[in-house]
């Protein structure tokens, strides 16, 4: 923009100086130059990815809003600590080099709350082995979980614990990747649940010397999970009540609308619940509320489903490793509700409160509840909104680059002209805000005249765009500010025409804007 205006002024100066002879030391010239261009289409109103073109080229907004996800962590919480062993102080007891002084096999009950788990497969995670030792001789420690295996090989770890310095306690820690391991929790007889079979041995290093214990000696051995996630779990996951919320999540489909309202002719809204767990459930949606944080206005869903128990059947296993789960799905139609009020609130947040009861009838699967990674109990609002609407001061914005160029002379007057080719079935008022290099508003320019609506046929469809030319006289102080402007914020306020009739929005509708400046320069020679 800078080079275009500067070159234009320079060319006019050359023309004047070559063709004219005057004794007056200054010249006045008029320069008419384009300043900015902008096209405002449906992408300025709604995300393009959510718009669907119908057979008649009208548009619909298709949006799936997953507002609630019930995860396995709510049902199954594995304990962190798997094993905790220590050697009691035996003052005067002598351990000989090469002697095993700790050899313990345990069938530990993991104490998983309200659940009876027979198997878990680890998607990822670590097993942390931790030793605290005051022995001044090296120790060999082994740890085995015969019921945890990968590719048929059970988990086994052997570590050399260095000797501690006299009067101190050595801390040794090592992490083992257990991704892909399968852990059988049915116990030695294969008839129990939550049972971890593990063996720990500690042997004084055979190459060292004998060691005599005193009352202050310490030897502790811990094993714990770290950062685990499960690929699969099986058992009885328990009968338990869970309450979630009130909680809020963000919704972004109306982010580009900064003010105003709209009325939709119709909205299809479904509440979809999908259960990917092998667990029966009962769900109660106590509240679903749309929140417009800009206005502070909230609208709660008024529908028969609110406060009512919904029985959700368990998913089934397919036996197909690629798609192992066939979820159960429930589609609840919310058309018989205040759905129009809910969406016309132009929400940017959804608030909800949900109750879930797992296995309300108890262990009817006989320990065959299951979980596969990536499958959860989800609740989502599915919206289909045909863009047939009435707009009331619907406000859209667009930011464009602006550069008036170098001040080659003194602008003593000027006029801004806005050429608008309007293909929307709206009238529009345009206001420009000048922005500095940090995007702060420095001034505003309001076009008092409206952009005229285009002609429409009997079906309220635009037949062709209509051009409007709007002008603003610029006093000298406004012009000087333009030289400091690096961007302009365009604010358009739309109102539908057609005496309160709903108008459809088609895929080719757009508003083209071009701003030009007619400046009167005073050039001093």
* Digit-coded pLDDT (tens) for 226-274: 999 999 999 999 998 988 888 998 988 888 787 888 899 999 999 999 9
185 — pLDDT class (breaks 50, 70, 90): very high
The model's pTM: 0.74
Lowest mean pLDDT, pick from 2-11, 32-41, 88-97: 2-11
20 — pLDDT class (breaks 50, 70, 90): very low
Mean pLDDT, residues 112-129: 93
Residue 13 reports pLDDT greater than 60:
no
3-class secondary-structure state, position 127? strand
pLDDT digits (tens, 9 = 90+) for 481-516: 777 788 888 888 888 876 678 999 998 999 898 988
Cis-peptide, bond into residue 246, ω within 30° of zero: yes
How many CB atoms neighbour CB 95 within 10 A? 21
Lowest mean pLDDT, pick from 8-22, 59-73, 104-118: 8-22
Q: 454 near 464, Cβ under 8 Å?
A: yes
Q: 502 near 265, Cβ under 8 Å?
A: yes
Q: What pLDDT is stored for residue 287 in this prediction?
A: 94
Q: What pLDDT is stored for residue 47 in this prediction?
A: 77
pLDDT digits (tens, 9 = 90+) for 80-94: 888 888 888 788 999
Contacts of 299 (CB under 8 A, 6+ apart): 289, 290, 338, 341, 342, 345, 347
Contacts of 59 (CB under 8 A, 6+ apart): 42, 51, 52, 53, 386, 387, 504, 505, 506, 507
Residue 100 reports pLDDT greater than 90:
yes
What is the rounded CA–CA span in Å between residue 444 and residue 490?
A: 10
Mean pLDDT, residues 456-466: 91
72 — pLDDT class (breaks 50, 70, 90): confident
Contacts of 286 (CB under 8 A, 6+ apart): 245, 306, 307, 353, 354, 355
Phi, psi angle pair for 21, to nearest 5°: -125, 120
Residue 330 reports pLDDT greater than 90:
yes
Mean pLDDT, residues 430-452: 88
Residue 4 reports pLDDT greater than 50:
no
524 — pLDDT class (breaks 50, 70, 90): low
Mean pLDDT, residues 440-463: 89
Which residue do the tokens 């029966």 mark?
Answer: 280
What is the rounded CA–CA span in Å between residue 524 and residue 353?
A: 72
Strands 240-250 and 116-133: unpaired
Residue 410 reports pLDDT greater than 50:
yes
What is the rounded CA–CA span in Å between residue 43 and residue 48?
A: 5
Radius of gyration of the chain (CA): 37
Residue 307 reports pLDDT greater than 70:
yes
What is the rounded CA–CA span in Å between residue 450 and residue 452?
A: 6
Contacts of 265 (CB under 8 A, 6+ apart): 386, 388, 389, 502
- How far from 62 is each of 270, 340, 381, 504, CA to CA, in Å? 12, 15, 11, 15
Average of per-residue pLDDT values in the chain: 86
């Amino acid at each position: 923009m800078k080079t275009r205006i500067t070159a234009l002024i320079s060319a006019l100066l050359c023309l004047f100086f070559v063709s004219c002879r005057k004794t007056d030391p200054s010249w006045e010239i008029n320069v008419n130059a384009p300043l900015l261009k902008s096209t405002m289409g449906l992408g300025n109103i709604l995300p393009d990815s959510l718009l669907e073109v119908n057979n008649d080229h009208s548009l619909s907004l298709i949006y799936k809003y997953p507002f609630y996800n019930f995860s396995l962590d709510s049902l199954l919480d594995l304990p962190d600590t798997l094993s905790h062993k220590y050697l009691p102080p035996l003052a005067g007891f002598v351990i000989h080099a090469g002697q095993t002084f700790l050899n313990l096999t345990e069938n530990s009950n993991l104490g998983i709350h309200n659940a009876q788990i027979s198997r878990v497969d680890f998607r990822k995670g670590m097993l942390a082995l931790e030793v605290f030792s005051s022995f001044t001789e090296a120790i060999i420690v082994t740890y085995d979980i015969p019921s945890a295996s990968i590719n048929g090989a059970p988990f086994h770890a052997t570590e050399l614990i260095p000797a501690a310095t006299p009067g101190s306690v050595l801390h040794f820690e090592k992490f083992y990747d257990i991704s892909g391991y399968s852990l059988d929790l049915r116990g030695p007889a294969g008839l129990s649940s939550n049972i971890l079979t593990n063996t720990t041995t500690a042997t004084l290093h055979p190459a060292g010397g004998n060691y005599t214990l005193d009352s202050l000696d310490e030897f502790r051995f811990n094993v714990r999970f770290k950062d685990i996630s499960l690929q699969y779990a099986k058992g009885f996951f328990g009968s338990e009540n869970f309450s979630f919320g009130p909680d809020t999540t963000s919704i972004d489909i109306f982010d580009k609308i900064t003010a105003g309202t709209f009325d939709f002719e119709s909205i299809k809204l479904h509440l979809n619940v999908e259960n990917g767990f092998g667990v029966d459930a009962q769900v109660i949606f106590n509240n679903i509320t749309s929140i417009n944080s800009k206005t502070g206005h909230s609208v709660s869903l008024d529908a028969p489903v609110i406060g009512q128990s919904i029985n959700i059947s368990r998913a089934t296993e397919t036996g197909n490793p690629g798609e192992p789960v066939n979820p159960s799905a429930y589609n609840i139609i919310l058309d018989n509700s205040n759905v129009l009020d809910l969406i016309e609130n132009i929400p940017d947040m959804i608030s909800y409160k949900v109750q879930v009861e797992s296995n309300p009838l108890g262990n009817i699967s006989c320990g065959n509840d299951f979980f596969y990674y990536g499958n959860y109990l989800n609740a989502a609002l599915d919206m289909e909104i045909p863009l047939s609407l009435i707009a009331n001061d619907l406000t859209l914005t667009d930011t464009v680059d602006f550069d008036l160029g170098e001040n080659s002379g003194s602008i003593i007057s000027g006029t801004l002209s806005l050429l608008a080719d309007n293909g929307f079935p709206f009238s529009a008022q345009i206001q420009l805000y000048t922005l500095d290099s940090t995007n702060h508003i420095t001034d505003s320019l309001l076009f008092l005249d409206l952009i005229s609506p285009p002609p429409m046929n009997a079906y309220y469809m635009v037949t062709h765009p209509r051009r409007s030319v709007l002008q603003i006289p610029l006093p000298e102080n406004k012009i000087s500010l333009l030289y400091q402007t690096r961007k302009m914020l365009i604010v358009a306020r739309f109102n539908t025409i057609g005496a309160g009739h709903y108008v459809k929005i088609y895929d080719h509708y757009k508003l083209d804007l071009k701003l030009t400046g007619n400046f009167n320069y005073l050039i001093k020679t």
